[in-house]
Amino acid sequence: MSELDIFDILGPIMIGPSSSHTAGAVRLGNMAALIYRRPIERINCLLHGSFAKTYRGHGTDLALVAGLLGMSPDDERLPEAFSLAEQAGLRVSFEEADLGYVHPNTVKFEIEGEAGAMMIVGSSLGGATIEVIQINQTAVSLRGDYPTLILDYTDKPGMISRISSSIASAGVNIAAMKVTRNRQIATMVLELDGQIPRATLVALEKDPSFLSISDIGAVEEQDAL
């Protein structure tokens, strides 16, 4: 018999009625903001399935906005997310949509901001567990369980070796790697078993082959100050 964690029984600490529709939605907003990295000016949220049917009653709309603003699921400011977004100059809209054969608690973020346009699709799987399944036209599988880098770069020979060498030089092992390609652009989702120094990320960002690099808990905090 497998052991149960206390959170498997009680659920996560959160504001709101549902771990899937509230806590998971906050985490999806968090993830979208981390992937985009730059200031967001406008975002349209296309809600699928159960998200579309109950988002007002379960506070999914508030939770998504709270996550985009960097709040945690237990943040007492969550009910004020709309007014805080307005104060921050973030314009948010919601639509009901059929996103196809995806989990019923799925949202597509259509983001516009300082880094241009980006589309991110993610699902809330229950118990505040989430999965990002698409970034722009690239299929991914990202749950945020490990320190993660997402790298978009010009697809050419030697790039995977160059990235792997940079991570190894930082003394960190790669837990998982997934590379997808769309025309001449490759997207790598790199899950690590530890955090890299800020200097390693800066060195990668200086390489003109990289179009964008998103850091999801992958950089040592003491170096990020």
Q: How far is CA 224 from the centre of its chain?
A: 19
Of the pLDDT bands very low, low, confident and very high (cuts 50, 70, 90), residue 143 is confident
Beta strand pairing status for 148-154 and 210-216?
antiparallel
Looking at CATH, the fold of the domain delimited by 148-224 is given as Alpha-Beta Plaits (3.30.70)
- For the chain, domain boundaries: 6-136, 148-224
* Residue 206: per-residue pLDDT: 93
Q: Which of 50-54, 86-90, 190-194 has the lowest mean pLDDT?
A: 50-54
* Residue 207: per-residue pLDDT: 92
Check if the beta carbon of residue 30 is closer than 8 Å to that of residue 67.
Answer: yes
- End-to-end, the C-alpha distance of the chain in Å comes to 44
In the predicted model, what is the mean pLDDT of residues 78-100?
95
> 21 pLDDT exceeds 70?
no
Looking from the CA of 165 toward its CB, the CA atoms found within 13 Å total 6
Of the pLDDT bands very low, low, confident and very high (cuts 50, 70, 90), residue 19 is low
Rounded Cα distance, 219 and 217, in Å: 6
Q: In percent, how much of the chain has pLDDT > 90? A: 68
> 5 pLDDT exceeds 50?
no
> 222 pLDDT exceeds 80?
no
Of the pLDDT bands very low, low, confident and very high (cuts 50, 70, 90), residue 107 is very high
Which amino acid, residue 200?
T
What phi, psi does 17 have (nearest 5°)? Answer: -90, -15
140-150 burial: b if 16+ Cβ within 10 Å, else e: bebebebbbbb
Of the pLDDT bands very low, low, confident and very high (cuts 50, 70, 90), residue 22 is confident
DSSP string for 149-188? EEEEEE--TTHHHHHHHHHHHTT--EEEEEEEEETTEEEE
* Residue 163: per-residue pLDDT: 95
The pTM score is: 0.81
In the predicted model, what is the mean pLDDT of residues 121-128?
89
Q: Which of these, 154, 132, 150, 130, lies nearest to 141 by C-alpha position?
A: 132
CATH placement of domain 6-136? 3.30.1330.90
Token pair belonging to 187: 């997207």
In the predicted model, what is the mean pLDDT of residues 136-148?
87
In the predicted model, what is the mean pLDDT of residues 138-164?
91
Looking from the CA of 92 toward its CB, the CA atoms found within 13 Å total 24
Mean confidence (pLDDT) of the chain: 87
- Tens of pLDDT, residue by residue over 210-220, are 999 999 999 98
Q: CA torsion sign, 149 to 151 to 155 to 157?
A: negative
* Residue 102: per-residue pLDDT: 94
